[in-house]
Amino acid sequence: MPHIFIPREIREGETRVAAVPETVQRLTRDGFEVTVERGAGAGAMISDEALEKAGARLSDDAAVYTEADIVLKLHPPTLEEAAQLKEGGVLVSHLWPFANKALCEKLMERRITVFAMDQIPRTTRAQYMDALSSQMNIAGYKAVIMAAERLPKVVPLMMTAAGTINPAKVVVMGAGVAGLQAIGTAKRLGAAVEATDVRPEVKGQVESLGGKFIEPPGAAVGEGGYAAEQSDEFLAQQKETVRKHLIAADVVITTARIPGRKAPLLVSEDVVREMRRGSVIVDLAAEEGGNCELCEAGKIVERHGVTIIGTSNIPGTVPTDASAVYAKNVYNVVKQLYPKEAELNLDFADEINDGAVILHDGGCRAEKVREAHGFRPPIRE
């Protein structure tokens, strides 16, 4: 019977957890032994008793790392945590391999098979495992709520005896998962919404949610459906195209993130200076350097009369639901790796395993990561 361990996330300020009672119950039903570190679900309002009732064994510390065949996490392990993993075991978590060379080396040294939640292919079949999408969906929703709270005016159109209050104008930059959720949420609150994206094919999705699409100066679609890194000339044209819309906005929500790279700069200080006093910018790329030039990661600041929200880990501000959907993503990954009778089946002919299993058998399977860090391939597959 494979042994699964879910530790408490130790990153400062993290409230989420990789398992909830529902997924613990499913895992035990599927034939896994499940251990959860005490207090792991506290930030998400999940009690130890609820996890224990669902079938988990509780541990007082992270010593179970050394016993577990499978470890389920949210964030990449620290080097200290990686050193405790059972040699030859399985880790399911985010990895961010391009930014974590030393961690990858430690994991390869211990011959850990790593299914990286941040490297899952953007395909229809993989959607139910796609943690980046599930967490950004929540971030897009919460960004609008945070903006509305800071905005010194109401969001919807209001007809009053004293006159009409016009709706707030919201501009969403980026119509990916977070952006589309932000558009939908802002419309439900009654805002007048515009959106821009470097991919003209998303126009229909924006308009289906009630937003007006700001046409880009061209197209820049990258591998796997992500936005590609754009040239300076393209970005300059895009900025000029949307500048007048940003200056007229009450709320700007930026969502442009490129996996493994610094976020593109979309809102310059010059634009912020021209925006109306009291306007709000929510930068969902704050942790990657920010789309707004004046954004400060982890802080809410006021510059030129504009409030700029650079809050880190926005999904973690809604930990109950963020944990629930992430835990389901992870459960689906476990079922992908252990399709029946709790037996590991690493079928690399499967596009999901091929794309997301980055480290295996003492080496690195991802060619781009190998080239970036000079890693060796696995000993065998």
Residue 106, both tokens? 């430690």
Q: Any catalytic annotation for residue 122?
A: yes
Q: Which candidate in 128, 188, 226, 268 is catalytic? A: 226
Cα separation of 288 and 80, whole Å? Answer: 25
One-letter amino acid for residue 339 of the chain: P
298 exposure class (CB count in 10 Å sphere: 0-12, 13-18, 19+):
exposed
Q: Which candidate in 11, 61, 125, 127 is catalytic? A: 127
Cα separation of 284 and 254, whole Å? Answer: 6
Three-class secondary structure of residue 170 per DSSP: strand
The torsion angle over the Cα atoms of residues 150, 153, 159 and 160, rounded to 10 degrees, is 110
**For residue 58, how many C-alpha atoms fall within 13 Å in the half-sphere facing its CB?**
14
Q: Is 40 left (phi over 0), alpha (psi -120 to 50) or beta?
A: alpha
- How far CA 369 is from CA of 34, 103, 374, 376, in Å, comes to 32, 13, 8, 10
Cα separation of 376 and 161, whole Å? Answer: 73
Q: Any catalytic annotation for residue 127?
A: yes
Q: Which candidate in 110, 122, 243, 303 is catalytic? A: 122
Residue 168 DSSP code: P
Q: Which candidate in 84, 93, 133, 336 is catalytic? A: 133
Q: Which candidate in 130, 197, 250, 283 is catalytic? A: 130
The torsion angle over the Cα atoms of residues 272, 273, 274 and 278, rounded to 10 degrees, is 70
Cα separation of 115 and 117, whole Å? Answer: 6
Cα separation of 119 and 362, whole Å? Answer: 19
Q: Any catalytic annotation for residue 338?
A: no
Give the residue numbers annotated as catalytic, written as ranges: 122, 127, 130, 133, 226
